[in-house]
Amino acid sequence: MMNENTNEPEVHAPRPQIPRLGAAASGLVALLLVGGLFVIPFLGLLIAPLGSLPVLHFQSRGAPGYRAWGPVVALLVVAAVGGFAGFALPLLSAYALLVVLPSTTVDLWVRWRISEGQWIASAVLVGLLVTLAVLLAIASPQTPMDAIAGWMRAASEDAAELYAAWGLAEGSVELALDAAERAAAWVLPSVPVAYLVVVLFWMRPRLPLLGLPVPVATFEEYRNDDWLAALFVLAGGGTLLLDGTLRWVAINLLVTVLILYFVQGLAMIRAHLARWFGRGWLVRWGVALLCLQGPMPLLVAALGVADSFHPLRPRLDDDGGTK
């Protein structure tokens, strides 16, 4: 384009480029960021999701992600076998969930052109299977429910002593801890899976910025794939009809599917609110916090299920607005 006054071509400033690390550096930086989960309490939950970004950016030039995370996984496996399982296994599990799993499933998304709903569901369900397998291996020869109850009981005793030192009523504290122990025995695997869902939805709008050719729509347009409804029915039936460890698996599968439907229900609610209030951060966080109160998560998940069978959200304009 020519400048009208000087007849000279306009000079545009080059876009800033995100530095791309090599394979080994990407994998190691990812390991350091994920390690924040175990080094920095609470704040590590915010730092660890960044671990996938160096590996995904490395993949954006067409290189396979395993070149970055493969050597790290091999190193952690060797450390676990060599007598350092106490720190290597938890770190390996977190690295697999937050780095290996996103890297692998995004690669499938790019190569196989699957839908966004398929990418989210496949990543989350594989994450659930990994979590269940790790807990089953650690709990053996006990049932996972008994093992988790024992872990929670040990933690509850320490917590009860702390609450007693604070002068809280001993009876009410014990009742609350007993209820938490019983619930955790059955649904503990769903906790890291819920965290994985948050990480994936935080990651999705950043994938094109990293140079990955994936079609990411607005959050208000997100929908689960139709086959998830069959999994919902299967998991619900297993929860009612099975017993023991199989029922434990079915319950966590049901909770995982409901989490995905909660996200779809949240997207549907935000699509309606966008017509009047826009998509500002206050709307996003306000709606999310409101939908997490009391019985609201189940109601929002029910809206997500209903939206799968009969679309409940407003129609979108070509420019992404709503009608």
pLDDT tens, the chain, 323 aa long: 445 455 555 444 444 456 667 889 999 999 999 999 988 878 999 999 999 999 999 998 888 899 999 999 999 999 988 888 788 888 999 999 999 999 999 999 988 888 898 999 999 999 999 999 989 988 888 898 888 888 877 776 665 565 555 555 455 556 666 777 778 888 999 999 999 999 999 999 999 988 898 988 888 889 998 899 999 999 999 999 999 999 999 999 999 999 999 999 999 988 888 788 777 777 778 888 888 888 899 999 999 999 988 888 776 554 445 44
In total, the chain counts a number of residues equal to: 323
CA geometry: angle at 186 spanning 124 and 233, to 5°?
55
Cα dist. 16→12, 134, 209, 220 in Å?
Answer: 12, 42, 12, 29
pLDDT number for residue 177: 64
Which of 221, 200, 243, 177 minimizes the C-alpha distance to 320? 221
pLDDT of residue 207: 92
Q: Phi/psi at 139 (nearest 5 deg)?
A: -75, -25
Q: Rounded to the nearest 10 degrees, what angle do helices 296-309 and 244-277 cross at?
A: 80
Predicted confidence at residue 12, as pLDDT, reads: 45
What's the distance, CA 104 to chain centroid?
A: 14
pLDDT of residue 163: 57
Residue with tokens 């069978």: 309
The reported pLDDT for the residue numbered 125 is: 95
Asked if 260 contacts 228 with a C-beta cutoff of 8 angstroms, the reply is yes
H-only helix segments in the chain: 23-34, 36-39, 43-47, 52-59, 66-79, 85-95, 101-112, 116-139, 144-165, 170-187, 190-203, 228-241, 244-277, 281-291, 296-309
Quote the tokens at residue 296.
């609201």
Q: Residue 34: which of 102, 95, 101 has the closest Cα?
A: 95
Angle formed by the axes of helices 296-309 and 228-241, nearest 10°: 130
Q: What is the pTM of this model?
A: 0.84
Q: Six-digit token pair at 80? A: 């676990």
Question: Cα dihedral sign for 77, 82, 88, 90?
Answer: positive
The whole-number pLDDT of residue 1 equals: 46
Instruction: Provide the pLDDT for residue 318.
Output: 44
